[in-house]
Amino acid sequence: MPTLPLCFHVQYSPEIGRKILYETDIIQWVEQQISLIKEQRYSEVDWVNLLEEIEDLSKRERDKFLSSISLIIQQRTVGCITLR
């Protein structure tokens, strides 16, 4: 029966660290990304997740805007119908 090693070496990867932070503490992750960009440490920025968050934010804001416009139009239409 083969023996298993008692210990092994795991190399830390900054990319893995960023992904773990992104998944466990989004607020700290955002603050970290802001600091990295301000310090012009662009190679360390988690660009994949950062761009995904920006796209999601854009979609949420667009959806919120369209919902508000739809509600206003509905209210105006109801107001016009009840006035006649």
Question: Which one-letter amino acid corresponds to residue 62?
Answer: R
* Tens digits of pLDDT across the chain (84 residues): 566 555 544 454 566 666 789 999 999 999 999 999 999 999 999 999 999 999 999 888 989 888 888 888 888 776 655 555
- Is 60 part of any domain? yes
- Is 5 part of any domain? no
Query: pTM for the full model?
Result: 0.59
- Is 70 part of any domain? yes
DSSP 6-30: S-------HHHHHHHHHHH-HHHHH
**What is the pLDDT, as a whole number, of residue 76?**
79
**What is the pLDDT, as a whole number, of residue 37?**
94
Give the domain extent around 78. 14-83
- Is 31 part of any domain? yes
How many domains is the chain partitioned into structurally? 1
- Is 66 part of any domain? yes
Number of other residues whose CB lies within 10 A of the CB of residue 46: 20
Cα–Cα distances in Å, from 28 out to 3, 33, 39, 50, 69?
42, 9, 16, 13, 34
What is the distance of C-alpha 73 from the center of its chain? 31
